[in-house]
Chain A
Amino acid sequence: AQSVTQLGSHVSVSEGALVLLRCNYSSSVPPYLFWYVQYPNQGLQLLLKYTTGATLVKGINGFEAEFKKSETSFHLTKPSAHMSDAAEYFCAQTSGGSNYKLTFGKGTLLTVNP
């Protein structure tokens, strides 16, 4: 069965510091990978996705992620954290190449300290 592992259920950074949220996937076929953000009491918003092609993917709000097949990783980064980045972040992969049957990680709660 496919799985997504997010290392660290809670990450705390200072404003202006680097944000690094880790995600490892397991898939027997080439995966399609996604990062979603969930602000309090809101739905999930797509940050970025990797399908094929360039392994460094840029998303909204200055986030980017790099697909590393050798490490089965898709870590999310942002050079400089902003207070508005405080939210829960979910990494996800698809099953069998479809777009709708996403397997999600348990999420990482990011807090940003002033």
Chain B
Amino acid sequence: NAGVMQNPRHLVRRRGQEARLRCSPMKGHSHVYWYRQLPEEGLKFMVYLQKENIIDESGMPKERFSAEFPKEGPSILRIQQVVRGDSAAYFCASSPGTGELNSPLHFGNGTRLTVT
């Protein structure tokens, strides 16, 4: 039973390039969440999506960042015109439901983005 799959594991981009991070939720999970972990910081919530809908993007920077979860295929976190401050580990999590404390989040192994 595959867990949450994220790719790539490591991504290097030069300043000004675009970064695309992919996340396939666990089988049977229709809710996806993205978190960012800056160096020596805890994870911070970015966005919550269900299929074809953004439910909560209150943690997402207003510019350059976008996320989608199409009807088919993985969820994508897209960062345009990356800057050095975007260097971080980006974690995706999924759950079968939301707001239900009996369906905890399952996290992927993360994508480590380095901006040079």
Contact = CB atoms under 8 A, between A and B. Distances in A.
Contacts of A92: 42-43
Interface residues of A, number: 26
B101 interface: yes
A102 B105 contact: yes
Interface residues of B, number: 31
A96 B29 CA distance: 22
B48 interface: yes
B63 interface: no
A44 B91 contact: yes
Contacts of A90: 42-43
8 interchain residue pairs of minimum CB distance: A104-B42, A43-B107, A44-B107, A43-B109, A104-B43, A51-B101, A106-B42, A43-B108
Interface of A: 4, 9, 32, 34, 36, 41-46, 49, 51, 90, 92, 97-107
Interface of B: 3-4, 6, 9, 31, 33, 35, 40-45, 48, 56, 58-59, 91, 93, 95, 98-101, 103-105, 107-110
